[in-house]
């Protein structure tokens, strides 16, 4: 299957690579997308979005000023929302407003990011998840039709992950039936919200709710912050852009402060808690858990987004590596393709496998999320702690791994990978932010660790535990597992590593309590170990889920497709086993001979995958407009595109820059 039409001849080396491929690329694409129908739907949407050329820029984004980049992003956002997105929603349906397919086409429009991203990614989900039916009828049609443009303001200048510490207040005035929003300190100003700086006119705001002199914790409020006609900030609102940052330069991340700003009582999102006209506070018995849904939703979708970003980086680096030739292995022989070097394969093939691992895990996690949300609507929140722990650790580990793998892809492209036109620096800066936003890596793993410690105590007491920690039932009272050099054996060994680390954490906490510490101090002193235990648990979940889901979805696949996807999954297992040899030696009865055999088999597997490398990244089916890369285009015209992009630099607009006559020449003549 040809992923991109091209008016140029394909680079001969890249063309030969495609001839080597021994599996049906289109069949793998269907698997990645979740079925043939979804692939056809995605391609139809991409045609609508990209075939009219609206996503193209006359001047590369990286050559524009911050102001110009933002204004260009707004222009394209409006085109995307007005024409493209309307047509696409007719295909996918309103319930799929934030589907991966729509997010993928949005990426084609924006090399950096859309100022509307948080409108679609957080503002709309918050309305859908936290509004009453009447509020949905009032606000959701306007939001989906872009009659209002929203942001989501939770993080403050002084507080991020610790939501209970937020300082913005919403105090109810029963006489006027209004809430008074106020920012009592500088650190209470909302900070970082995408689209807030200059784009949004509405905002979902998280604030501490006060009524009848009592604080009821954080709640969500929908707030108009700008005049719909003039776009000027309303009286009592102080709003602006937070300034240059490592990435997200076109997202106008903003700050927001309130000075006794009033909103109607009905602007409190009241699905799970409400304030009556007289100020009486009424909430669901499970209000705290029910309102967590929006953030869990975002964390779940981020796992899939990490798969997508790794697939882009891997496609760029693998195609480049098939075109690039380097060194002379033997006299008078052609320079080999750098993809022929095992060290290059070691850097890149794990990226392909990880993209598959994260996508299958994301689909499994999404199904779990939907089941839990359905149960919650019936009043059953028993499965929410496990979902919280899963979404927390998978968000943390997937974003961290994606960042590492994208950087590895950049390294694999040498100096050319450092060029902004390669798109690898943009991918890196984007994913670097995801490691922090919607939950910091360390904090999320510690949240998972709380769940794991409780699960260990349940297993130790002989009580049942949930499915993802069921391995604790056989580990709570046992020693090291015997090494089993099979694929299932590797997974069990990683479960043993997780169990062993959790057990050590519990022991450390108990020993510190015996020495006189209270529980929280004992926990604090054990947090380094707890982070490691949560990461180990997440590895065990990832390995087990990827392996089981791969076997499930390939049952009806053709022989060669099943074989190559099996090889990728085995590579993933072996890669992480070799990365964690220290843990294996500590928690599994593995020998040096076992590890040597594992290393040998891993290197053989790299060679077996080598002929299919380009075919595997072609199966991601990423159009050139989505890759935005001079190194990763379908036709492989790497050097021609690098030169074409270089010519677009503003410094090449004239043969002599004015600075020569103004500064350099006087310096040369000693007249400066």
Residue with tokens 């597997």: 605
Cβ atoms within 10 Å, residue 510: 13
* Active-site amino acid positions: 438
Question: What is the DSSP annotation of 476-525?
Answer: TT--PEEP--SHHHHHHHHHHHHHHHHHHHHHHHHHHHHTT--HHHHHHH
Structure tokens at 168: 């913005």
| Cα 380 to Cα 135: distance, rounded to the nearest angstrom | 24
Name the DSSP class of 256.
Answer: E
| Cα 437 to Cα 152: distance, rounded to the nearest angstrom | 13
3-state secondary structure 131-159: CCHHHHHHHHHHHHCCCCCEEEECCECCC
C-alpha to C-alpha distances, 280 to 168, 263, 636, nearest whole angstrom: 21, 17, 66
Question: What is the DSSP annotation of 57-83?
Answer: -SS-GGGS-HHHHHHHHHHHHHHIIII
3-state secondary structure 572-631: HHHHHHHHCHHHHHHHEECCHHHHHHHHHHHHHHHHHHHHHHHHHHHCCCCCHHHHCCCC
- Burial call 443-481: b when 16+ CB within 10 Å, e when fewer: ebbbbbbbbbbebbebbeeeeebbebbebbbebbeeebb
Q: How many residues does the chain have?
A: 672
Cβ atoms within 10 Å, residue 627: 27
Structure tokens at 590: 């593995």
CA 386 to chain centre: 20
Dihedral of CA 119/63/348/568: which sign? Answer: positive
Phi-psi region of 438 (alpha: psi -120 to 50; beta: other; left: phi over 0): left
C-alpha to C-alpha distances, 213 to 166, 170, 178, 216, 279, nearest whole angstrom: 18, 12, 15, 10, 10
Three-state DSSP at 377 gives helix
Structure tokens at 430: 């984007």
Q: CB of 200 within 8 A of CB of 241? A: no
Dihedral of CA 197/160/455/479: which sign? Answer: positive
Structure tokens at 604: 């053989």
| Cα 61 to Cα 75: distance, rounded to the nearest angstrom | 13
Contacts of 564 (CB under 8 A, 6+ apart): 22, 23, 28, 609, 612, 616
- Among 297, 222, 215, residue whose Cα is nearest residue 263: 222
Q: CB of 456 within 8 A of CB of 472? A: yes
């Amino acid at each position: 299957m040809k992923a991109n039409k091209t008016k140029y001849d394909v680079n001969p080396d890249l063309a030969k690579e495609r001839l080597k491929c021994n599996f049906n690329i289109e069949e793998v694409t269907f698997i990645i997308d979740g079925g043939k129908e979804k692939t056809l739907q995605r391609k139809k949407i991409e045609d609508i979005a990209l075939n009219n050329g609206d996503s193209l820029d006359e001047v590369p984004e990286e050559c524009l000023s911050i102001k110009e980049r933002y204004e260009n992003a707004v222009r394209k956002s409006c085109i995307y929302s007005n024409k493209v997105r309307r047509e696409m929603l007719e295909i996918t349906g309103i319930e799929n407003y934030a589907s991966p397919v729509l997010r993928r086409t949005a990426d084609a429009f924006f090399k950096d990011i859309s100022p509307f991203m948080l409108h679609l990614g957080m503002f709309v989900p918050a309305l859908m998840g936290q509004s009453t039916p009447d509020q949905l009828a009032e606000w959701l049609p306007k939001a989906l039709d872009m009659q209002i443009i929203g942001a989501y303001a939770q993080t403050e200048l002084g507080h991020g992950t610790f939501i209970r510490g937020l300082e913005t207040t919403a105090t109810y005035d029963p006489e006027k039936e209004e809430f008074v929003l106020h920012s009592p300190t500088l650190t209470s100003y909302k900070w970082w919200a995408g689209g807030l700086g200059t784009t949004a006119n509405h905002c979902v705001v998280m604030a501490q709710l006060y009524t009848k002199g009592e604080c009821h914790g954080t709640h969500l409020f929908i707030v108009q912050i700008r005049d719909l006609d003039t776009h000027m900030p309303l009286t009592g609102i102080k709003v602006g852009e937070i300034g240059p940052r490592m990435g997200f330069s076109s997202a106008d991340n903003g700050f927001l402060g309130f000075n006794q700003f009033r909103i109607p009582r009905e602007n409190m999102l009241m699905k799970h808690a409400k304030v009556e006209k007289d100020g009486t506070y009424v909430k669901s018995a499970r209000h705290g858990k029910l309102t967590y849904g929006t953030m869990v939703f975002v964390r779940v979708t981020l796992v899939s987004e990490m798969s997508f970003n790794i697939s882009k980086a891997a496609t760029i680096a693998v195609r480049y590596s098939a075109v690039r030739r380097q060194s002379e292995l033997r006299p008078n022989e052609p320079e080999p393709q750098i993809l022929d070097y095992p060290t290059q394969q070691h850097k890149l093939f794990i990226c392909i496998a990880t993209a598959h691992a994260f996508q299958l895990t994301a689909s499994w996690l999404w199904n779990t999320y939907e089941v839990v949300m359905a149960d919650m609507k019936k009043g059953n929140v028993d499965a929410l702690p496990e979902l919280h722990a899963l979404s927390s650790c998978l968000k943390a580990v997937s974003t961290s791994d994606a960042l590492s793998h994208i950087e590895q892809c950049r390294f694999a492209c040498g100096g050319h990978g450092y060029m902004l036109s390669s798109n690898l620096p943009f991918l890196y800066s984007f994913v670097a932010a995801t490691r922090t936003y919607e939950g910091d890596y360390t904090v999320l793993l510690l949240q998972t660790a709380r769940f794991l410690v409780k699960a260990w105590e349940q297993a130790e007491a002989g009580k049942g535990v949930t499915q993802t920690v069921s391995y604790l039932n056989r580990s709570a009272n046992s020693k090291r597992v015997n090494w089993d050099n099979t694929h299932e054996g590797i997974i069990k060994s990683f479960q043993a590593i997780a169990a062993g680390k959790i057990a050590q954490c519990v022991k450390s906490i108990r020993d510190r309590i015996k020495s006189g510490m209270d529980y929280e101090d004992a926990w604090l002193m054990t947090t380094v170990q707890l982070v490691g235990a949560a990461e180990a648990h997440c590895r065990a979940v990832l390995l087990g889920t990827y392996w089981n889901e791969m076997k499930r979805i390939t049952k009806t696949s053709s022989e060669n497709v099943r074989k190559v996807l099996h090889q990728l999954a085995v590579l993933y297992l072996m890669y992480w086993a070799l990365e964690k040899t220290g843990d294996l030696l500590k928690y599994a009865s593995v020998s040096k001979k076992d590890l040597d055999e594992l290393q040998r088999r891993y290197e053989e597997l790299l060679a077996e995958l080598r002929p299919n490398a380009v075919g595997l990244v072609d199966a991601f089916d990423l159009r050139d407009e989505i890759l935005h890369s001079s190194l990763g285009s379908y036709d492989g015209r790497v050097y021609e595109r690098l030169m074409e992009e270089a010519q677009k630099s503003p410094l090449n607009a004239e043969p002599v820059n004015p600075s020569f006559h103004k500064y350099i020449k006087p310096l040369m003549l000693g007249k400066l």
